[in-house]
Amino acid sequence: MHHLSSVKLALIVVVVIVLALTGVAVVLLAPRAHVGPPAVNQVGDAQSYREIPTDWQPADWQRTKWQRIQTDTFSIGLPQGWVFIEKQGIDSYIGEFQGDGITLLFDYGWYSGDPSQDNPDYTVTEKIINGFTARLFTSEKNQDAGVYFDNVGGEGGLINKLSVYGSGLSKEDHDLVFSIFSSIRFKNIRFDNSLVDNSWEVYTNTELGITLRHPSDWKLKEKTTSTVVIEPASEAESSLFRTLYISATLTDLQEYIAAYESGGFVVDGHNFNEIEEESATFNGEPVTRWETNNEMGIGSSIFFISHNGHNIIIDYNDEDDIHTAILSTLEFVTN
């Protein structure tokens, strides 16, 4: 009797060990979620329909199999199956994004208005999206939600504005449309510099032709004269995929893209390194940019810039406030 109990106990121990090891294997093989600020909009049943949470952060939309749609003045991430319909405007550039039973209207121009302005039916929260101040608004009464940018640049003293909004939205629709709003990217790249202060250290690299500033509690290392790594001084922080890379490459843009995509992490036929590049301007320099994920599921944004006789790669996390603040100080200089 005692012998049978021992056998049963041994079998139970073996089963537990196998299950534990299987669990570890699943954890190790599964792509990791992005480490950092909350990456999804929390509007839903747990909160008031009208409320935009104070901890709302731009969603990590690029880790889904979304498409990036280019308009004449900005780009936007949309789920597969959504379509872009350009409309005829009078004094502004207008159009629609349609999918999943939702229609989002946009209006870009000098006179584009804010539907939530001075309207008590709306709850409004201001956030930074792509370096620009955005007013996110939602209304239970009108069952709509939108985003409004009151200054996205312009020429000749004229300021362009952008509004994107949808009506007849359910609570579930709000999660999706706020993720869509967070994916908006303007052709003129700008980063928020509100975190920069006088304690930040100045760094200049004459080989790359750049100068920038970084927090004193972050370390900057020159691996070579043309490769710079910036990361938190704390080992615990630096291990959280918070490293910003700036380096030169000998390959041209198309060669770099081909090499990058060939090393992609593929799941269910989807190459997470597949690039949807777009042209933009950063500090007066023409750049090509794209967003992608590595094999750990960590999203990153990449700039390809030709400057000072080099093809320069900037690899950073668009959701890391310190990364974007550092890039807000980056300037290009000519030797």
pLDDT at 56: 41
Strand order in the sheet with 185-186: 67-70, 74-78, 185-186
Residue 37 lies in a domain: no
Same domain, 174 and 209: no
**For the domain that residue 152 is a member of, what is the CATH number?**
3.40.1000
Residue 41 lies in a domain: no
- Name the domain boundary from 186, 219, 246: 186
Same domain, 181 and 205: no
Task: Say how far apart CA 232 and CA 241 lie, in whole Å.
Answer: 10
pLDDT at 311: 92
Same domain, 26 and 65: no
Residue 54 lies in a domain: no
Same domain, 97 and 72: yes
User: Strands 331-332, 210-214: parallel, antiparallel or unpaired by DSSP?
Assistant: antiparallel
Task: Say how far apart CA 69 and CA 164 lie, in whole Å.
Answer: 14
Cβ atoms 248, 205 nearer than 8 A = no
- Name the domain boundary from 186, 217, 249: 186
pLDDT at 293: 58
Residue 43 lies in a domain: no
Helix (H) or strand (E) holding 170: none
Residue 121 lies in a domain: yes
Same domain, 173 and 252: no
pLDDT at 263: 67
pLDDT at 152: 86
Mean pLDDT split into 10-residue runs, the chain, 335 residues: 43 43 34 28 29 42 67 89 91 93 94 86 87 88 90 76 93 87 86 90 94 94 91 71 88 84 59 71 86 60 89 87 92 83
Same domain, 166 and 214: no
Q: Please list the alpha-helical segments (H only) found in 158-215.
A: 171-182
Same domain, 256 and 314: yes
pLDDT at 63: 43
User: Which of 127, 194, 234 shows the shortest CA–CA distance to 328?
Assistant: 194
Sign for the CA dihedral angle at 287, 290, 294, 299 comes to: positive
Quote the number of domains for the chain.
3
Residue 44 lies in a domain: no
Same domain, 179 and 210: no
Same domain, 176 and 248: no
- Name the domain boundary from 186, 215, 238: 186
pLDDT at 309: 86
Same domain, 228 and 324: yes
Residue 68 lies in a domain: yes
**For the domain that residue 212 is a member of, what is the CATH number?**
3.40.1000.10
Residue 38 lies in a domain: no
Same domain, 205 and 325: yes
pLDDT at 294: 52
Same domain, 320 and 293: yes
pLDDT at 180: 92
Question: What is the domain extent for residue 278?
Answer: 201-332
